[in-house]
Amino acid sequence: MLRLITDFDGPIVDVSDRYYCVYQDCLERLRPPDRPVKRLSKSEFWRLKRSCVPERQIGAISGLDLDRARQFARLRSQTVHSSPYLHHDRLIPGAVDALERAQRAGLDLVLMTMRRQRELDEALYRCGIDRFFPPHRRYCIGNNETKTLDTQDKPRLMQQALMELPPVREQWMVGDTEADAIAARTYDVKFIGVLSGIRDRRRLTPYRPDRIVKDLAEAVDLVVERSAQAIH
């Protein structure tokens, strides 16, 4: 059996609307009364996010002075993962079909995310995809757990998963960030980077993914093909 471990934000759900909404709201709250700001289009904003331009710099590009740009970065960090904005997330086209193909092919599906448990459970049920990931196949941050850095927390979740899950012949991680790549590489799990999330190809390439693909659908096709080859 092959195992497919997938991140949630990026491979399965598109968070760009949420991030852009938070950007607009934070910019409006910090807009100086004596001069206009330059609100970026969603495509401009998302291009900057995917290339890892710092929040403070995005604030400055949008017309905020240095002090307000710093406040913008702090406010955005405090706001972006708060419950009032999570409803802006939407399923990536083809993600559900991809999960169904993976399930039919007999892949062991595991979900691994930096969301807190209550946030993850709500999103899974709202999107109607909880059926793919029973509770014992969900690895996330506890509701009262202290978060550190994604690049530290994600490898810790990977370690926990590999200690608890039954052994399989081969394991693949699908993700859209450096944290996913580091978690996979740390524990000799093959890594597929997807371009449907918050990092572009230039940001993913230095982490030496086994493959970079468009989305979860292409990632599943790759792993299912590997599984079929192993059988024959």
106's torsion region: left (phi>0), alpha (psi -120 to 50) or beta? left
DSSP E strand boundaries for 42-84 = none
* Per-residue pLDDT at 51: 96
Q: Which two tokens stand for residue 38?
A: 């330059």
Are residues 80 and 105 part of one domain? no
Are residues 99 and 77 part of one domain? no
> Mean pLDDT in runs of 10 for the chain (232 residues)?
96 98 97 91 98 97 96 96 92 97 96 95 95 97 91 96 96 97 97 97 96 98 83 56
Are residues 222 and 194 part of one domain? yes
Q: What is the pLDDT of residues 173-196, one digit of tens each?
A: 999 999 999 999 999 999 999 999
Q: How many domains does the chain have?
A: 2
User: Hey, CA dihedral for 147, 149, 150, 154, is it positive or negative?
Assistant: negative
Are residues 209 and 128 part of one domain? yes
Query: Is the Cβ–Cβ distance between 67 and 75 less than 8 Å?
Result: no
- Round to whole Å and give the CA distance between 159 and 156: 5
Helices (H), strands (E): how many in the chain? Answer: 11, 8
Are residues 165 and 63 part of one domain? no
34 lies in which domain range?
16-86
Are residues 116 and 74 part of one domain? no
* Per-residue pLDDT at 39: 96
Could you count the other beta carbons within 10 Å of the beta carbon of residue 172?
A: 22
Are residues 76 and 129 part of one domain? no
Are residues 136 and 75 part of one domain? no
Query: Is the Cβ–Cβ distance between 174 and 190 less than 8 Å?
Result: no
CATH of the domain at 159: 3.40.50.1000
Are residues 107 and 183 part of one domain? yes
- Round to whole Å and give the CA distance between 216 and 97: 10
Are residues 139 and 79 part of one domain? no
- Round to whole Å and give the CA distance between 170 and 229: 13
Of 86, 113, 147, the last residue of a domain is: 86
* Per-residue pLDDT at 224: 93
